[in-house]
């Protein structure tokens, strides 16, 4: 049986995926893993590949979704995305988004969160 925080994380990822699909994005991969790390969702919006980090914030005192993605986490995301991109025949335009979800399921979508 999974720990409660893992179940909440999976539920948040599922909610984010469905919500992004309703916004017109297409799912390419979920929980993409390599030795560098993991990317929660890899979506496509038009010709742009979108790497999505989903952050569930159980309490506002823990900071915002964007604040919770530390510089170390950003580096892991970038390295993992590079690994994914190396598997493709050509490199598409891409961006990194963050989806923040609170206990009431309010969604905050931060596009181009990492530069």
User: Hey, what CATH topology would domain 4-110 get?
Assistant: Trna Endonuclease; Chain: A, domain 1 (3.40.1350)
Decide if 53 contacts 94 (C-beta within 8 A): no
Task: Indicate the SS3 state at residue 61.
Answer: helix
**Mind listing the pLDDT tens digit for each residue in 62-113?**
677 777 888 899 999 999 999 999 999 999 999 999 999 988 888 999 999 9
Locate the domains of the chain by residue range.
4-110
**Mind listing the pLDDT tens digit for each residue in 48-66?**
999 999 998 877 666 777 7
How far is the CA of 17 from the CAs of 13, 32, 81, 88, in angstroms?
6, 14, 18, 22
pTM of the model: 0.91
């Amino acid at each position: 049986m999974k720990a409660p925080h893992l179940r909440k994380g999976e539920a948040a990822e599922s909610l984010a995926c469905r919500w992004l699909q309703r916004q017109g994005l297409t799912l390419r991969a979920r929980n993409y893993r390599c030795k560098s790390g993991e990317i929660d969702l890899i979506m496509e919006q038009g010709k742009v590949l979108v790497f999505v980090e989903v952050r569930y914030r159980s309490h506002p005192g823990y900071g915002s979704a964007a604040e919770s993605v530390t510089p170390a986490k950003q580096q892991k995301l970038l390295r993992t995305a590079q690994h994914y991109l190396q598997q493709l025949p050509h490199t598409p335009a891409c961006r990194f988004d963050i989806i923040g979800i609170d206990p009431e399921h309010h969604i905050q979508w931060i596009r181009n969160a990492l530069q």
